[in-house]
Structure 1
């Protein structure tokens, strides 16, 4: 897929705070791309530059829409769900959506067809003529999501699309975003729900202190981090690690019970060798393997980067 967005060496300074620090990444056309990071990581500052609200102090942003070059995502090509929602509580669901469709230049009859389709998908078709304020926070969130895509934008930028939703409705948003991708839209989302991101995102960028900490597909990130594997092994009788006569692996062992041992491999490349050695045991009963999920990767990477930043700050003071 060609690049829709290319960010090269972008920095943004606010007085004494460097919100974005020499950041480079790309977003491919038609993919779901996740922007991750703790509060204050620089995500909002980056988004403001992507949509043209502010401009980089240095570096470049290049956007390619239908062969046309831009320095930010064009307004007419953008569907945007901001952090601060902007619906009208006294108006009905349909009135809200028709208003936003009109702002985007969508003809009324075409908008009504789109509205009915999306409301049906979100189980809200029977509430189209109710005032927005009568809906739960989660249902209002779904209306806001619909308002961002009624004009069939090329790029959809969503800030916390899962906020305020229960697990069932989070899954509906997953289906919604997959439908946008299937229609050829490029989706850029910022979220703290790592399980949803892991399920959805083709690629991701993890930021901290304005810098790129991790970047790529989940598989690429795991490879870069050097993710280990936890292996829990059960035996039919009491067994300890010393009795297994295993090779020289980079592994930490924990005796969970008389017949159960947990191995923590620091290098996943040794997994097959370890499993082959374990399989030689005549009392082997079962093996369970578990790798780090995105949530665990996120915590590990942020903790590591935080330590580096603090070391740099201490060195600078000295």
Structure 2
């Protein structure tokens, strides 16, 4: 059984505290996403997980095969770093077999696994070509293959969708899903919210070194208090006082089209909200939609930035 526990971790650099008392856990076999804007503290957190740096306060515990470690053991780790590290002049095969050997793989096993993953990415016929001759996106896929050839228990991927077109992003989605099927635990950081929403079992949203949201998509919808929206247009817009009275149990706003936008904690509240809206007049247009991860992300970061400004004031 494998588990990663991060408890009250703090990490500072000179005058900047990059990680501020963060706690979370990653379970075996799940895909866990680290989200947040640039400078949120994700890279600092990853460096501690892989043992490049150590917490100033708090602790990290990685339990693998009934053994406890302060960072992920190298032989159990597959890592795609922010700064990619393959050799441009060498062929794809030379790169992959070299790093496989460093992980202790025999050549026969390494070749079998290399061919398997290269075929998955439509790169098998390119394996004898220099890495530099490949497009940026194809080089990225080779980097991903390199991270998993030794079949690690834990895979950490920093921006795995970077430089990929939509077709290849979907291939990476399938790649990550297969890693999960094979029992690997995947931790990834990414800015492509639509990809994360397809993949992640749970996620941690950071901003300015702090945890903003943590859990599954359903958990996050509940934490932020918005899981869906109703957008309603009337033949004649009711007064603000009338809307406020009817929707006193809901948050609402008016959009640029003078439609009433009602924020719901979940889709189960649609009927109650609609009952109240019907008392306000004739509805000419009604639209109901769930807030996707991208919208939740923007809302959460905006609210957290506001909290920081209020504290500073």
Shift of 1:210: 1.1
Alignment CA distance shift 1:267-1:111 (3 Å): closer
Shift of 1:231: 2.3
Deviations 1:161-198 (A, max 9, x none): 00000000000000000000000000000111111111
Partners of 1:118 and 1:224 lie apart in 2 by: 39
Runs of 4+ in structure 1 over 6 Å off: 278-286
Match of 2:300, SS? helix
Shift of 1:273: 1.4
Match of 1:79, SS? strand
CA contact (8 A) 1:36 1:206 kept: yes
Moved more, 276-285 or 171-180: 276-285
Partners of 1:113 and 1:255 lie apart in 2 by: 58
User: Once superposed, what is the RMSD of the aligned Cα atoms?
Assistant: 2.4
CA contact (8 A) 1:35 1:204 kept: yes
Deviations 1:266-301 (A, max 9, x none): 554632213356689998787431122111211221
Partner of 1:272: 271
User: Where do 1:69-108 residues align within 5 Å?
Assistant: 69-108=68-107
Count residues with an aligned counterpart.
306
Shift of 1:309: 2.1
Partner of 1:240: 236
User: Where do 1:1-318 residues align within 5 Å?
Assistant: 4-227=3-226, 229-233=228-232, 239-242=235-238, 248-249=246-247, 250=250, 251-253=252-254, 256=257, 261-265=259-263, 267-268=265-266, 270-276=269-275, 287-314=286-313
CA contact (8 A) 2:159 2:190 kept: yes
Shift of 1:104: 0.6
Shift of 1:242: 4.1
Partners of 2:111 and 2:176 lie apart in 1 by: 21
Structure 2 length as normaliser, TM-score?
A: 0.90
Alignment CA distance shift 1:19-1:278 (3 Å): closer
Deviations 1:96-153 (A, max 9, x none): 1111111111110011110111011001111111111110000000000000000000
Partners of 1:72 and 1:184 lie apart in 2 by: 20
Partners of 1:310 and 1:192 lie apart in 2 by: 24
Question: What stretches of structure 1 of length at least 5 have no aligned partner?
Answer: none
CA contact (8 A) 1:10 1:60 kept: yes
Question: What stretches of structure 2 of length at least 5 have no aligned partner?
Answer: none
Match of 2:246, SS? coil
Partners of 1:162 and 1:172 lie apart in 2 by: 10
Moved more, 150-159 or 278-287: 278-287
Alignment CA distance shift 1:49-1:254 (3 Å): closer
Shift of 1:241: 4.6
CA contact (8 A) 1:230 1:262 kept: no
